């Protein structure tokens, strides 16, 4: 009997494989990492990145790209470290409003037929400005429950891994198993046929962007839980990291082809790649290049697999 | 001759190393430097000083290792990950020049909880469990006015050159200068311009404000702007006031030329990039079990009339005057904070 993999599982194979290889390499270089404590240190900063990657993935599922995610996560971090702690009600309202703005952006992009890159790039300056207004100098403090959540020590597995699994399952259920998820991916795959089937494109896009905003809010809160206080520039790197994470995890820029589990694995892989290079003691001048090389290798592997997959599909 | 020299040198090295290695309980300790940025001459000099001083310390057996790490991008999240990796690598102490005073606090706390000593300098962190070697920018401004009060007991009008508007350092130095003027009321700040710590900007700004100013007896600066101010004033028929310099090579060179030509007197003050080596020795002292106050202050590198030549000779073209600190210097700083 021949083992047959579904195309979705195939899609996950490369990210899972690259993560395993990197993890093995890190363990080999630094055996200390092979412990409850070590794994948590290695991966806890990947949790907010994973959440931001899921947010980016939702936007990419409708064929758009969000260049404001880094600035938005920084903004959320600033709200979390100030309002959410001192006045939880106002803080919650601000964050809910921000999610609403995200959904609105999705609608505006669709209705006015604007390029998402331009609109979100513009929004990134708005979020960055609001973050600076809220926290002109770095500071603030994480609410105690957030801090507790990010430093909790569950039995068996460290928080970073439990959180990654939970994020992957929740995102999988929403995007792959719910009818809303099917609709969102359908908009990315073939907007016209979804429209002709009688669905509201506006609602689907608003939902995709709103969900993205929700996950980005979670990313900001999680980040502050780890850092204990905020800085208006804290997460600017997340924009590119999240895009790279989605692609690494088997997602694509077009066609609504995304994988939530893959995206979480992609985020973990990127974090591991950073640690791997740091343990190798590569000079910082080469590090960005080396990180790029890892990305290219993984993507090249995927192309090879895709070709094999296609050949296999032919009768 | 050469063999004799070598023998003498090795004896000297042995003598120098012996008391140190006898004292050090830190011979098996590893110290790491977590640096967020290496893209300007100050940071490059900082890293070079680190490698030079810690290299000698490792050879002498004071510590087992002192590895520098710089993040590829100047981002707090990346540096937080770097610090967490250092904990895993088993370093006993981490010396940090931080990308953000607050965004690394979580990682610093993790390090402290894992029993790692954390010493931050220049870019300090606010987490209470870490040590801070901070720059007293206010004192840097105030000391300029104090120096001028010694040179010019009668006082007079001052021109203030500020740094980049809206930056914390600029506010601090300027506040210090105004404190100094309050302390020595014979001085009055007749005008103030932003020189952005750059000679060309300062020159333009000073040239612009000069026609509207009365006679100026002194120029108080923030570093990187003294040479530009001198050029602007030299272009007029005004008498050259006392311009406080900021340890840049072009400033020291100009001062030297003036000193040789007409006995011009001033002073120069800034922070030496070698402060990284002070942080290294402080970390070593903490690992050695010394009782060290959590908040230490960096001594300024001040250049005066008599040590100008020596400092100028040691400063690279286009660079900043530097000094590397020794274990004794660190002990002095620690004692001073008690």
Chain B: residue whose CA lies nearest to A40: B84
Chain B: residue whose CA lies nearest to A287: B72
Mean residue pLDDT across chain A: 90
Residue bearing tokens 């004071």: B62
8 Å CB contact between B329 and B278: yes
A63 touching B, CB under 8 A? no
Residue among B73, B82, B106, B166 with most chain A CBs within 10 A, to mutate? B106
Chain B: residue whose CA lies nearest to A43: B81
Look at residue A7 and tell me whether its pLDDT is greater than 80.
Answer: no
Q: What are the start and end residues of each CATH 3.40.50.2300 domain in chain B?
A: 24-133+272-298+322-337, 137-270
User: Helices A159-172 and A260-280 meet at what angle, rounded to 10?
Assistant: 150
8 Å CB contact between A108 and A122: no
- Span A108-122, pLDDT tens digits: 999 999 999 999 999
State the number of CA atoms in the 13 A half-sphere of A66 facing the CB.
35
Q: What is the dihedral of CA A176, A180, A185, A189, to 10 degrees?
A: 140
Give pLDDT, residue B72.
Answer: 79
CA dist., res. B126 & res. B129, Å (int): 9
The answer to whether B105 contacts A228, with C-beta atoms less than 8 Å apart, is yes
The answer to whether A227 contacts B70, with C-beta atoms less than 8 Å apart, is no
The answer to whether B75 contacts A238, with C-beta atoms less than 8 Å apart, is no
The answer to whether B102 contacts A42, with C-beta atoms less than 8 Å apart, is no
CATH architecture of B24-133+272-298+322-337: 3-Layer(aba) Sandwich (3.40)
CA dist., res. B308 & res. B319, Å (int): 15
Which residues in chain A are closer than 8 Å to B80, comparing Cβ atoms? 45, 226-227
The shortest C-alpha distance from B271 to chain A (Å) reads 23
Residue A254 — pLDDT band, cuts 50, 70, 90? Answer: confident
Residue of A271, A281, A288 with shortest CB distance to B81:
A271
Which residues in chain A are closer than 8 Å to B73, comparing Cβ atoms? 237, 288
The shortest C-alpha distance from B67 to chain A (Å) reads 9
CA dist., res. B308 & res. B77, Å (int): 42
- Span A278-301, pLDDT tens digits: 888 877 678 778 878 888 888 888
SS3 of B124-157: CCCCCCCEEEECCHHHHHHHHHHHHHHHCCCCEE
Backbone angles phi, psi at B192, to 5 degrees: -145, 135
Give pLDDT, residue A3.
Answer: 54
Instruction: Record the tokens describing residue B181, joined without a space.
Output: 């003027």
Look at residue B1 and tell me whether its pLDDT is greater than 60.
Answer: no
**Which one-letter DSSP state was computed for residue B193?**
E
Which of 1.10.3470, 3.30.700, 1.20.58, 1.20.120 is the CATH number of A32-305? 1.10.3470
Look at residue B188 and tell me whether its pLDDT is greater than 60.
Answer: yes
How open is the CA angle B77-A106-A260, to the nearest 5 degrees? 55
Backbone angles phi, psi at B209, to 5 degrees: -90, -20
Which residues in chain B are closer than 8 Å to A140, comparing Cβ atoms? 102
8 Å CB contact between A94 and A83: yes
8 Å CB contact between B27 and B62: yes
ipTM: 0.86
Instruction: Record the tokens describing residue B96, joined without a space.
Output: 């940090």
- Span B240-290, pLDDT tens digits: 999 999 998 889 999 999 999 999 999 999 888 899 999 999 999 999 999
Helix (H), strand (E) at residue B227: helix B226-234
**Which one-letter DSSP state was computed for residue B290?**
-
Give pLDDT, residue B18.
Answer: 45
Backbone angles phi, psi at A171, to 5 degrees: -65, -40
Strands B93-97 and B117-121 turn out to be: parallel
Average the pLDDT over each of A89-93, A272-276, A292-296, A306-310 and give the range with the smallest value: A306-310
Which residues in chain A are closer than 8 Å to B71, comparing Cβ atoms? 284
A149 CA to centre of own chain: 19
A230 touching B, CB under 8 A? yes
**Which one-letter DSSP state was computed for residue B67?**
E
If one counts every other C-beta atom within 10 angstroms of the C-beta of residue B112, the result is 17
B134: nearest Cα among B165, B172, B105, B164: B172
Percent of chain A with pLDDT over 90: 69
The answer to whether A279 contacts B127, with C-beta atoms less than 8 Å apart, is no
Mean residue pLDDT across chain B: 88
- Span B195-238, pLDDT tens digits: 888 889 999 999 999 999 999 999 999 988 899 999 999 999 99
pTM over 0.90: no
Q: How far is CA A238 from CA A74, B73, B148, B263, in A?
A: 9, 12, 50, 57
Which residues in chain A are closer than 8 Å to B75, comparing Cβ atoms? 233, 236-237
- Chain B positions touching chain A (beta carbons under 8 Å): 38, 67, 69-73, 75-78, 80-82, 84-85, 87-90, 100-107, 109-110, 114, 126-127, 168
A69 touching B, CB under 8 A? no
A242 touching B, CB under 8 A? no
Helix (H), strand (E) at residue B88: helix B76-88
Residue among B103, B111, B113, B168 with most chain A CBs within 10 A, to mutate? B103
Look at residue A262 and tell me whether its pLDDT is greater than 90.
Answer: yes
Which residues are CB-neighbours of B232 under 8 A, at least 6 positions away?
B202, B203, B204, B206, B207, B210
CA dist., res. A141 & res. A146, Å (int): 10
CA dist., res. A218 & res. B112, Å (int): 27
Burial pattern A145-160, b for ≥16 Cβ within 10 A else e, equals ebbeebbeeeeeebbb
The answer to whether A231 contacts B110, with C-beta atoms less than 8 Å apart, is no
Higher-confidence residue of B148 and B123: namely B148
Instruction: Record the tokens describing residue A260, joined without a space.
Output: 């939530």
Which CATH number does B137-270 carry?
A: 3.40.50.2300
Chain B: residue whose CA lies nearest to A34: B88
What is the count of residue pairs from A and B with beta carbons less than 8 Å apart? 96
CA dist., res. A228 & res. B105, Å (int): 6
Segment B121-127 shows an average pLDDT of: 89
- Span B84-97, pLDDT tens digits: 999 999 999 999 99
Strands B93-97 and B30-35 turn out to be: parallel
In chain A, where the domains are located? 32-305
Residue B20 — pLDDT band, cuts 50, 70, 90? Answer: very low
CA dist., res. A66 & res. A58, Å (int): 10
Residue B338 — pLDDT band, cuts 50, 70, 90? Answer: confident
Give pLDDT, residue B6.
Answer: 58
Residue of A32, A230, A278 with shortest CB distance to B82:
A278
CA dist., res. A117 & res. A175, Å (int): 23
8 Å CB contact between A183 and A194: yes
The shortest C-alpha distance from B105 to chain A (Å) reads 5
* Length of chain B (residues): 338
- Residues 94-153, chain A, touching B (beta carbon < 8 A): 137-140, 150
Residue B10 — pLDDT band, cuts 50, 70, 90? Answer: low
- Span A35-94, pLDDT tens digits: 999 999 999 999 999 999 999 999 999 999 999 999 999 999 999 999 999 999 999 999
């Amino acid at each position: 009997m021949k083992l047959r993999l579904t195309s979705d599982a195939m899609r996950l194979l490369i990210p899972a494989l690259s993560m395993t290889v990197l993890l093995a390499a890190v363990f080999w270089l630094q055996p200390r990492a092979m412990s409850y404590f070590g794994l948590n240190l290695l991966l806890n900063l990947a949790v907010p990145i994973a959440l931001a990657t899921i947010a980016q993935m939702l936007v990419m599922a409708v064929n758009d790209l969000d260049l404001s995610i880094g600035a938005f996560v920084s903004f959320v971090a600033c709200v979390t470290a100030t309002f959410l702690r001192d006045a939880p009600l106002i803080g919650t309202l601000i964050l809910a409003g921000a999610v609403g703005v995200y959904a609105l952006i999705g609608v505006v992009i669709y209705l006015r037929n604007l390029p998402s890159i331009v609109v979100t790039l513009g929004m990134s300056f708005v979020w960055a400005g609001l973050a600076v207004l809220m926290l002109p100098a770095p500071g603030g403090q994480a609410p105690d429950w957030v801090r507790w959540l990010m430093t909790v020590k569950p039995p068996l597995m460290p928080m970073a891994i439990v959180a990654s699994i939970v994020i992957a399952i929740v995102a999988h259920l929403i995007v792959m198993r719910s009818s809303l998820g099917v609709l969102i991916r359908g908009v990315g795959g073939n907007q016209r046929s979804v429209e002709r089937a009688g669905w509201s494109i506006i609602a689907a896009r608003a939902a995709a962007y709103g969900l993205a905003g929700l996950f980005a809010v979670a990313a900001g809160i999680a980040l502050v839980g780890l850092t204990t206080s905020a800085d208006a520039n804290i997460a600017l790197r997340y924009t590119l990291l999240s895009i790279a994470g989605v692609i690494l995890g088997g997602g694509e820029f077009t066609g609504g082809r995304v994988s939530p589990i893959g995206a979480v694995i992609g985020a973990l892989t990127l974090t591991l790649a950073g640690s791997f290079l740091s343990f190798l003691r590569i000079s910082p001048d080469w590090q960005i290049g080396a990180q790029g090389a890892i990305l290219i290798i993984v993507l090249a592997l995927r192309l090879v697999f895709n070709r094999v997959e296609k050949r296999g599909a032919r009768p | 001759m050469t063999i004799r020299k070598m023998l003498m040198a090795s004896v000297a090295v042995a003598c120098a190393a012996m008391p140190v290695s006898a004292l050090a309980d830190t011979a098996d300790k590893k110290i790491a430097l977590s640096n967020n940025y290496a893209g300007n001459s100050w940071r490059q000099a900082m890293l070079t000083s680190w490698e030079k001083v810690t290299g000698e310390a490792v050879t002498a057996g004071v510590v087992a290792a002192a590895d520098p790490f710089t993040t590829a991008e100047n981002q707090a999240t990346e540096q937080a990950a770097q610090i967490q990796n250092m904990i895993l690598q088993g370093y006993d102490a981490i010396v940090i020049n931080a990308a953000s005073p607050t965004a690394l606090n979580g990682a610093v706390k993790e390090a402290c909880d894992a029993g790692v000593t954390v010493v931050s300098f220049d870019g300090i962190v606010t987490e209470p469990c870490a040590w801070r070697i901070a720059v007293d920018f206010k004192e840097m401004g105030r000391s300029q006015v104090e120096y001028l009060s010694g040179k010019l007991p009668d006082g007079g009008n001052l021109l203030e050159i500020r740094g980049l508007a809206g930056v914390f350092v600029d506010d601090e130095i300027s506040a210090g200068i105004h404190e100094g003027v309050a302390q020595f009321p014979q001085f009055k700040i007749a005008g103030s311009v932003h020189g952005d710590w750059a000679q060309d900007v300062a020159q333009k700004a000073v040239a612009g404000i000069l026609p509207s100013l009365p006679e100026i007896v002194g120029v108080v600066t923030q570093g990187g702007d003294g040479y530009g101010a001198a050029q602007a004033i030299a272009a007029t028929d005004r008498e050259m006031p006392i311009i406080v310099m900021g340890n840049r090579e072009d400033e020291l060179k100009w001062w030297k030329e003036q000193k040789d030509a007409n006995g011009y007197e001033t002073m120069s003050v800034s922070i030496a990039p070698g402060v990284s080596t002070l942080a290294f020795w402080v970390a070593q002292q903490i690992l050695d079990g010394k009782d060290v106050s959590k908040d230490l202050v960096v001594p300024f590198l001040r250049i005066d009339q008599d040590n100008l030549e020596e400092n100028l000779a040691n400063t690279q073209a286009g660079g900043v005057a530097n000094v590397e600190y020794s274990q004794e210097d660190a002990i002095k700083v620690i004692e001073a904070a008690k």
